[in-house]
A and B are shown apart, each in its own frame.
Chain A
């Protein structure tokens, strides 16, 4: 267990490509941080820099009170769960878990006790003598977890550990990983491209885009006050509606409709979450419905406002819907972003 402290860390490849722009952050003891972003955003690179699998171009990385920039991965007191599990195919489950301990000079008894404990925790006990090739995907995933747990590392690293599992198993493992991490009270960094995983698991989320950290915050902060149009559209399903609008006087104009809301004059991007919109006969914004997606408990209404794509998420009341509807929303549901930079205003 340890804190992680990162100062101006960056990664530039020899060909000049900047994979990670200078970033600074701290991770508290026992905290679970999720790095989320589209593929190629640098989240895995950042994680691998912490692991020591990628060189750090500039900056300082501390785990606990040590600067670990130039330490080998094995010396950083970390454990990592890989996307494809990376189990040693020629070793049994027990040996896979024991290998890292053995190399750190643990005695036979210590190893046996640790492996046993981890196996119980992950219900792997009956599988200890099997080879990885004889396990299902979910079981392999557990072994990879076990291999990390037995080591009692200062820091857990997860690199998209659930992306190879089917939806049901993914949900189950999500809960399990979170529980384990809480129980062991270990600091963890978790990389995923799945915003649902990020929202459900994280103490804090780091949203990355094009090698930069766009926003750091708790899941509800990220959801309620996204720092940019990128964060707004990446987090949340279906994503936040973003429409071009104009600030005039103390009003925001969307096409012909006006909403009174403090706003500087000029072009803005207006963000509204689909679930914060209601259908109302007294609504202010006309909505042209084109398609209804039934989700059971709710419906997604696809259509246009002022000629721009717009989605509404509304409770399913089985009512027949006309093609032309009116929308209403509270003023606190409005997010304003700079039309050019995408930054929150």
Chain B
């Protein structure tokens, strides 16, 4: 089986600066992978390339063997790092919108999660707090039966209790063959749910290892290793 996401010599330049340089990685299926790196290390650039929002300056990025496009968007469920929803809509309207747009969206699953987080389906998005809006976006993304979930900073704006619920949501909703790629700064909060971590530094790969390999080898948590590698 082809890797669900593969980068071959992937390079992205903005003007004369390299946001990513000669990146080679392949993500396996059925894993939860942390995409970690300091600000400006290229995480969001990589994610945008995977979703076809940017084009590579060199090399290739392949989703299930194909370049990002209509077919790959069917199997990738993407949570951007900013709000992209029309604020005038109500929660149930946006759910219905997603349900029409994506074949693999489960309205039932979405309603269940709204209930669990006591979010009123009739509320207008413009009336929601920042944290609640983030929860709604995550619900939309996790209610799809996708092969690859790409979550850009999914837990940044929510309180610790909601963070636990979100991690629980991710664990319950991805199926055994799906891969979840999560970019975040809050490593210690999510370390226990990750299989694998990828460290990016100035657009280059510095580490690609499993969480328990890191703990066995360095006798410290991924969070502690991150602080060491990226010490300012």
Same complex for A and B? Answer no
